[in-house]
C-alpha cells in the first residue's frame, strides 16, 4: 500500500486554525503547505484545485493534531510530506523543500511525483 500524506503545521480544530492565523499575522507561525493549498482562503486556492485536477498525485492532507506517532516520528519539523510504503513511513519533503515552491502548486505536485517514481 502506498499512501502520500501532507502534514500541515497547524491544528485542525477551529481553535487551532484561529491560533495559527494569529501566529501567521504576528510572524510566529509558518506553514508552506498551508500557503500552497489555501493561503488565506478557507475554501482553498483555485490554483491548488487546478493543479490537483491536472496531476496524478493523490495527496492526503492532514493537520498535525491528526497524525499518528509513527507519522510524527518520520515527519519531524512540519509541514512535511511523508509516504507510506507497506507498513513503513518515509519523509519525501521537508518544510524547507515545501516552502521553496512559493505558490507553485503544479511544480510541488510534479516534484512529489518525481520523488515517488525514484523510490
pLDDT tens-digit map of 105-114? 999 999 999 9
Mean of all residue pLDDT scores within the chain = 87
Q: Record the cell numbers describing residue 107, joined without a space.
A: 511544480
Q: Please report, in angstroms and rounded to a whole number, the separation of the first and last CA atoms in the chain.
A: 13
pLDDT, tens only, 43-75: 778 888 999 999 999 999 999 999 999 999 999
This prediction has a pTM of 0.86
CA distance 36 to 95: 12
Q: Is the peptide bond before 79 cis (omega within 30 degrees of 0)?
A: yes
> Crossing angle of helices 105-117/46-54, nearest 10°?
30
Domain boundaries, the chain: 2-117
Report the largest interatomic distance among the alpha carbons of the chain, rounded to a whole angstrom. 41
Question: Within the chain, where are the H helices?
Answer: 14-26, 32-37, 46-54, 69-75, 95-99, 105-117
CA Rg, the chain, in Å?
A: 14
Least confident range from 7-16, 76-85, 105-114: namely: 7-16
Amino acid at each position: 500500500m502506498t499512501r502520500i500524506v501532507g502534514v500541515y503545521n497547524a491544528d485542525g480544530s477551529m481553535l487551532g486554525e484561529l491560533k495559527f492565523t494569529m501566529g501567521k499575522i504576528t510572524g510566529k507561525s509558518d506553514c508552506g503547505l498551508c500557503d500552497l493549498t489555501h493561503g488565506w482562503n478557507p475554501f482553498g486556492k483555485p490554483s491548488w484545485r487546478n493543479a490537483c485536477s491536472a496531476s496524478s498525485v493523490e495527496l492526503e492532507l492532514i493537520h498535525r493534531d491528526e497524525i499518528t506517532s509513527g507519522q510524527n516520528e518520520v515527519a519531524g519539523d512540519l509541514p512535511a510530506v511523508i509516504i507510506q510504503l507497506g507498513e513503513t513511513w518515509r519523509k519525501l519533503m521537508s518544510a524547507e523543500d515545501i516552502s521553496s515552491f512559493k505558490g507553485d502548486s503544479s511544480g510541488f505536485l510534479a516534484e512529489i511525483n518525481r520523488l515517488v517514481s525514484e523510490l
